[in-house]
Amino acid sequence: QVQLVESGGGSVQSGGSLRLSCAASTHTYSRMGWFRQAPGKEREGVAAIDTDGPTVYAGFVMGRFTIARDGAKNILYLQMNSLKPEDTAMYYCAAARAAYGGGLNRDAYNYWGQGTQVTVSS
């Protein structure tokens, strides 16, 4: 069983930055990703990275967010710059045993963390 623990959320002003981290208990996964869910909205994919390197980003974060992983430490990161109020959401880390389907498709993931809140004020 893979356990995922997110950290790094918080409150920032518009234009600010945050770095989210996700510590995985093992590295038996082929893909990891970040998703977010705002109140009253569906959970949506933000970014994903395969263990062999390819990444994918949602259009609304392209150029502002960067996903990266430290394979040796089993930690996934999401560097978020130029944050906007519309980025306010609970952010979740996810892991998939197999890298098939779209990286931003939540149904492709097997394991989820509990989430970390990101709040961006204008």
Using alpha carbons, select from 79, 82, 80, 81 the residue that is nearest to residue 68. Answer: 79
User: Which regions of the chain are under pLDDT 70?
Assistant: 27
Determine the pLDDT at residue 102.
87
Computed from CA positions of residues 13, 19, 24, 30, in that sequence, does the dihedral angle turn out positive or negative? Answer: positive
Determine the pLDDT at residue 99.
86
The three-state secondary structure class of 113 is coil
Determine the pLDDT at residue 27.
67
For 41-53, the pLDDT digits (tens) are 999 999 999 988 8
Contact present, 6 and 21 (Cβ < 8 Å): yes
DSSP 97: S
Dihedral angle at the C-alpha atoms of 5, 11, 15, 20, nearest 10 degrees? -10
